[in-house]
Chain A
């Protein structure tokens, strides 16, 4: 009788462990895909910023500042990425702080599409970042479990890290904000 109970207990523990490992695996996959989505959105944003900077629709000083920030963001090393992307955010915010800048750009040939694209890009970066940080938190919560730590259920998967940056969109580009 006791033997059966012990066997059952071992089986239950086994099922629980394999279920937890599966859960953790799914969470890691979510972290990876949300990070890929965030990278895609950041790249899209710097690409549009670059395009606006080189379009000749802005004054030369603004063009230069924006092009510089976009270039830095695209080429930053991994550990400087958060800072560089935040700098691009600030450059965009300062550029569109002037109340008529967005309207002026829209009125120029081809400007309408560029502003619309930028508007989409600056809106999606904060979205993608929140989804990523949310995934990271979920994965970390499971990895903190004692059993997961002792039995190394996380395997060789790197410890998930959040992406911290200033991603507040320019007020003038928000719907109803201009």
Chain B
């Protein structure tokens, strides 16, 4: 099958959607399909040979944060040419409502279109105002995919209609087979707790974990906290008593292999995010690496953790509850072993093997219907 994939965000900037598109393309190519990805990138950025650069993206303030987007006459022309020359059997557009390549591709598309909705933003006034503009373009989408039940619900509320839920994929084997790192492993008296995420983004919840840390130390004086992610380490521990700061290790930004090793090594992985998550891929990665997961009780996390069956949940931003749950888990090796086991089984549905098959199923459903109108 000839598949055209549109990624709205800069290829050279790390991000969930970009990783998803990259892994999807790799998976489809491995299955023997022809894939072309259109993504914002400078003409001189080194790119995998399946990526077609659509020109430089410009930073614009959109939806509460600065995003790098492509729009304007030139971008629209490039999108049209790519679609025309590609002769795709199906066009897979990510984040179709983003005012970037995706919306342009929706606009220019003529054949079967599949779209994946990743984010679940609260309904904004800008969105309501833009609705009549968006609607005719979005009408061309023959199949909508939402990455979680939560994302689907917001999609239904904002735009009406319906979508199938196909979660984001994870290379489960990569995390499951990673070696453990003895330096990051704990002992029953001095266990280790892991955290991965931007330090300076409060949405990722590190402040809650830091606030809870002294209470965890009371129960486990030797406990260590391993923090991986970009941001100012000193600022992050400013509220922590001086004596405890030595027990927090900052690993900085780490690559995928180190991330897998970290998750394989820790006794508990904590995800204290305070909101704005539509999926929670890190939880799936942690479960793939068989790390017991403790996460804040967000809709998206609750769903990924199967309502609390595959991991423990605590009230959002409640440091007291976090500390109690963490201590409870660290004291209970049987429960942790149980979570590792349930998690390992639970993540099978997020493996690229399953997810890739489902996405291909959508392509086939859409193209099987009838010749393109």
Spell out A's residues near B (CB within 8 Å): 23, 26-27, 29-30, 32-37, 40-41, 120, 123-124, 126-128, 130-131, 133-135, 137-138, 141-142, 174-177
**Is the pair B142, A33 in contact by a Cβ cutoff of 8 Å?**
yes
| A-B contact sample (20 more), CB < 8 A, given A120-B357, A131-B365, A131-B366 | A23-B136, A23-B139, A27-B139, A30-B142, A34-B369, A36-B369, A37-B370, A123-B361, A124-B364, A126-B164, A127-B143, A127-B361, A127-B362, A127-B365, A130-B164, A131-B143, A131-B164, A133-B162, A141-B160, A142-B139
Asked, given contacts A27-B139, A175-B348, whether A134 binds B163 with beta carbons under 8 Å apart, the answer is yes
Task: For B139, list chain A residues within 8 Å (CB).
Answer: 23, 26-27, 30, 138, 142
A61 to B68, CA, bound (A): 61
Task: For B142, list chain A residues within 8 Å (CB).
Answer: 30, 33-34, 131, 135
A-B contacts, 7 of them at CB < 8 A, read: A33-B373, A37-B366, A127-B143, A130-B162, A130-B163, A175-B351, A176-B346
Task: For B140, list chain A residues within 8 Å (CB).
Answer: 26, 30
Q: Does B345 contact A (CB under 8 A)?
A: yes
Asked, given contacts A175-B348, A176-B345, A176-B349, whether A127 binds B370 with beta carbons under 8 Å apart, the answer is no
Task: For A41, list chain B residues within 8 Å (CB).
Answer: 365, 368
Name the 6 nearest CB pairs between A and B, nearest first: A37-B369, A29-B373, A176-B348, A33-B370, A33-B369, A134-B161
A137 to B161, CA, bound (A): 6
Q: Please report whether the interface of chain B is mostly helix, strand, loop or mixed according to DSSP.
A: helix
Task: For B163, list chain A residues within 8 Å (CB).
Answer: 130, 134
Spell out B's residues near A (CB within 8 Å): 135-136, 139-140, 142-144, 160-164, 345-349, 351, 354, 357-358, 361-362, 364-366, 368-370, 373
Q: Find the B residue at minimum CB distance from A139.
A: B139
**Is the pair A123, B373 in contact by a Cβ cutoff of 8 Å?**
no
Asked, given contacts A26-B139, A33-B142, A134-B144, whether A127 binds B348 with beta carbons under 8 Å apart, the answer is no
Q: Which of A26, A138, A175 contacts B354 (CB 8 A)?
A: A175
Task: For B351, list chain A residues within 8 Å (CB).
Answer: 175
Q: Find the A residue at minimum CB distance from B370.
A: A33
Task: For A123, list chain B residues within 8 Å (CB).
Answer: 358, 361
Q: Find the B residue at minimum CB distance from A162.
A: B162
Q: Find the B residue at minimum CB distance from A177.
A: B349
Task: For A33, list chain B residues within 8 Å (CB).
Answer: 142, 369-370, 373
Task: For A37, list chain B residues within 8 Å (CB).
Answer: 365-366, 368-370
Task: For A127, list chain B residues within 8 Å (CB).
Answer: 143, 164, 361-362, 365
Q: Which of A124, A134, A176 contacts B162 (CB 8 A)?
A: A134
Q: Find the A residue at minimum CB distance from B138.
A: A138
**Is the pair B368, A138 in contact by a Cβ cutoff of 8 Å?**
no
Task: For B162, list chain A residues within 8 Å (CB).
Answer: 130, 133-134, 137
Q: Which of A40, A130, A133 contacts B368 (CB 8 A)?
A: A40
Task: For A175, list chain B residues within 8 Å (CB).
Answer: 348-349, 351, 354
A133 to B347, CA, bound (A): 30
Shortest CB-to-CB span from B310 to chain A, Å, is 10
Task: For A30, list chain B residues within 8 Å (CB).
Answer: 139-140, 142, 373
Task: For A141, list chain B residues within 8 Å (CB).
Answer: 135, 160
Shortest CB-to-CB span from A67 to chain B, Å, is 26
A127 to B143, CA, bound (A): 8
Task: For A23, list chain B residues within 8 Å (CB).
Answer: 136, 139
A80 to B142, CA, bound (A): 26
Shortest CB-to-CB span from A119 to chain B, Å, is 10
A134 to B373, CA, bound (A): 17
A126 to B145, CA, bound (A): 12
Shortest CB-to-CB span from A176 to chain B, Å, is 3
A54 to B135, CA, bound (A): 48
Task: For B160, list chain A residues within 8 Å (CB).
Answer: 137, 141
**Is the pair A40, B361 in contact by a Cβ cutoff of 8 Å?**
no
Q: Which of B347, B362, B369 contacts A176 (CB 8 A)?
A: B347
Task: For A124, list chain B residues within 8 Å (CB).
Answer: 361, 364-365
From A36, A135, A137, name the one whose CB has the most chain B CB atoms within 10 angstroms. A135
Q: Find the A residue at minimum CB distance from B345.
A: A176
Task: For B370, list chain A residues within 8 Å (CB).
Answer: 29, 32-33, 36-37
Task: For A130, list chain B residues within 8 Å (CB).
Answer: 144, 162-164
Shortest CB-to-CB span from B317 to chain A, Å, is 31
Shortest CB-to-CB span from B165 to chain A, Å, is 9
